[in-house]
Amino acid sequence: MNNTLRQRTVKLVMRILRPLVEEGIVQVYEEQLLAANLKQLAARGELMPLVKPKLIDQREAAEMLGLGLSNFKKLEKENAFPFNRKMLGCSVRYRNLDIVKYIMSQDDESPLNEVGH
């Protein structure tokens, strides 16, 4: 028996879920959480890790990615990452969940792995 989840099944479940979201039975954040987990399960055979959402600074973001701070800043300036910075006054912050999603989406041959090691 095959224990993998097909992308086609993920799309079908999300289509079925959509009217429930539109009627307010299922919350949008729940739909997003389900979609992220189902996509991760289909692609990698594992759920997204449980992470408490929070805003982190550049040093913490670089650390999560296994990069030095100066290398992280250089790569960010080159738009190497799909996640966006958030400005809180004069402070730069990032959503840690965006970084986790980025890490989980990378394969072993990504440019980030080559830069970081």
In 5-83, DSSP assigns E strands to: 55-56
Which of 12-16, 44-48, 101-105 has maximum average pLDDT? 12-16
Rounded average pLDDT over 39-59? 85
Q: What structural domains does the chain harbor?
A: 7-44 (no CATH), 55-116 (1.10.10)
In the predicted model, what is the mean pLDDT of the chain?
A: 86
Q: What is the DSSP letter of 93?
A: E
Q: Are 22 and 43 in contact (CB under 8 A)?
A: no
What predicted TM-score, i.e. pTM, was given to this entire model?
Answer: 0.58
Instruction: Judge whether residue 115 has pLDDT over 70.
Output: no
Give CA–CA dist 31/91, Å, rounded. 31
- Please report the pLDDT score of residue 93 as a whole number: 96
Which of 25-34, 64-73, 102-111 has maximum average pLDDT? 64-73
Instruction: Judge whether residue 85 has pLDDT over 70.
Output: yes
Coil, helix or strand at residue 113: helix
